[in-house]
Structure 1
Amino acid sequence: MLASDIRALRKARGLTLAEIALKLDRSVGWVSQVERGLSIPSLGDLRAFADLFGVPLSLFFSHDVPIEKERGVVVRAGSRRTLGTSESGLVEELLSPDLGGSFEMVRSIFAPGAELKSEQLRPTEEAGYIASGIFEIEIAGVWHRLVEGDSFRFERKPYRWRNPGTEPAVVIWVVSPPVY
Structure 2
Amino acid sequence: MGSPVNDLTPTSETLGADLRALRKARGLTLTDLAEALGRSVGWLSQVERDKSEPSISDLRQIAKCLNVPVSMLFAHSAAPSHEQGFIVRAEARRPMGSGEEGLVEELLSPDLTDDFEMVHSTFAPRSRMQIPAKRPTQEVGYMISGRLKLRIGAQEFDVGPGDSFRIRHDTYQWENPYEEPAVAIWVIAPPVY
The TM-score normalised by the length of structure 2 is 0.67
| 1:31 equivalent in structure 2 | none
User: What is the count of residue pairs matched by the alignment?
Assistant: 144
2:18 and 2:73 in contact (8 A); partners too: no
Contact 1:58 1:81 in 2 (8 A): no
CA distance in 2, matches of 1:99, 1:171: 20
- In structure 2, the CA distance between the partners of 1:57 and 1:103, relative to structure 1 (3 Å rule), is closer
Q: Where do residues 1-180 of structure 1 align in structure 2 (5 Å cutoff)?
A: 37-39=3-5, 41-43=10-12, 46-47=18-19, 48=22, 50=63, 51-53=66-68, 55=70, 58-59=73-74, 61-66=75-80, 68-180=81-193
Runs of 4+ displaced beyond 4 Å: none
Q: Which structure has more RCO (C-alpha within 8 Å, separation ≥ 6)? A: 1
Extract unaligned runs of 5+ from structure 1. Answer: 2-35
Q: CA RMSD in A?
A: 2.4
Q: Contact 1:126/1:173 (CA < 8 Å) preserved in 2?
A: yes
State the Cα deviation string for residues 40-60 of structure 1 (Å, max 9, x = none).
63447732284433637651x
Shift of 1:114: 1.1
Q: CA 1:118–1:86 in 2, change beyond 3 Å: closer, same or farther?
A: closer
Structure 1 residues 93 and 132: alpha-carbon distance in aligned structure 2, compared to 1, 3 A threshold:
same
Q: C-alpha separation between the residues in 2 aligned to 1:121 and 1:55?
A: 15
User: Residue 70 of structure 1: SS of its match in structure 2?
Assistant: coil
In the superposition, the TM-score normalised over structure 1's length comes to 0.72
CA 1:84–1:123: 2 relative to 1, 3 Å: same
- Once residues 139 and 156 of structure 2 are traced to their aligned partners in structure 1, the CA distance between those partners, rounded to angstroms, is 16
Does structure 1 conserve the Cα–Cα contact (< 8 Å) formed by 2:150 and 2:156? Answer: yes
Q: Percent same amino acid among aligned pairs?
A: 44
* 1:38 shift after superposition: 1.1
Which structure carries more helix by proportion? 1
